[in-house]
Amino acid sequence: MPYKYYCLLYISPMVFLLDQVTKWIVREQIPRGNAVAIIPGYVDLVHVMNTGAAFGFMAGPYAGWRTPFFLGIAAIALIGLLWIMRRCPAQERLLPLIFSLVIGGILGNGLDRLRLGAVVDFISCHWRDATVDLTAGGWRLAFPLEWPAFNVADSAITVSMVLLSWQLLRKR
């Protein structure tokens, strides 16, 4: 079996299963909205339901068409990735890994949207409870030093984008 299909048949399901198992554990063990400190002041396990996309994009009043929209985008992305992967040269090693990570992540978050109408996020990284407070020209801007909660599927997609960026810079 060519390497690219090996990645697709093993890496994507591993990402998907790890994502779903960790989300199930969080749903079973942590009440929604609660947190468990892993590295106090820096990393918590939380139970958050994200109805939007990355950083909560479109989480607001779009409820009627939000899930079908996100599932449609996911389906288009999956078809595109599979088409590109099929055309990927047999000697290529990094791109099949990248695409397999993305596919596993899309399937993990897609199943959440289909079953729950939202994605379970549970890893929260922050800098203690610090807040940046900026004031300029009569305007005040304050925001906490934290990254929005994420999950295994998000992490796989992020790692794949870092690898893709490295691949593009390396082949330049």
Catalytic positions are 121, 154
- What contacts 34, CB < 8 A, 6 or more positions away? 46, 47
Backbone angles phi, psi at 117, to 5 degrees: 75, 5
- Spatial contact of 47 and 120, defined as CB atoms under 8 Å apart: yes
Give the 3-state secondary structure percentages of the chain, helix then strand then coil, rounded to 5.
55, 25, 20
